[in-house]
Amino acid sequence: MAKPLRVVVAKPGLDGHDRGAKIIARAFRDAGMEVIYTGIFQTTEMITRTVVEEDADVLGLSILSGAHLHFAEEICTSLRENAAKDVLVLMGGILPPDDIPKVKDSGVAEVFTPGTPTTKIIDYVREWQSQA
């Protein structure tokens, strides 16, 4: 039997609204994944360190502060520099539609906006896992 996926859920920056992050963390857990929730007010360095130390397969970023472009680029670059380039990076939050391609260009695999059913996110991760 394959080991469960390890998922880090993080809230970068000064955004203290973590309801969505907690909902998706619970959905990942209920789907049989091991979840590490870092809490709010995380720096890029803290998130990267957690992903590397926990040997995570997936990183879910929850951003509502408007700093999504900055953090997408900074965190994805940091993961590549710290030998965690194979980690699936997902982002959830309120992003202008024009910014979604930009965060994907930085290395975010997919963006899930408010109202996305958690089952759609879990299915996306399972599909990625089956192709890995």
pLDDT by 10-residue block (mean), the chain, 132 residues: 90 88 96 96 96 96 90 95 91 94 97 95 96 85
Residues 10, 19: Cα–Cα separation, whole Å: 12
pLDDT for the residue numbered 95: 93
Among 48, 62, 77, smallest CA distance to 11 is for: 62
pLDDT for the residue numbered 54: 95
Contact yes or no for 48/82 (Cβ under 8 A): yes
pTM above 0.85, yes or no: yes
* Neighbouring-strand partners of residue 36: 8
H/E run at residue 50: helix 44-53
pLDDT for the residue numbered 65: 82
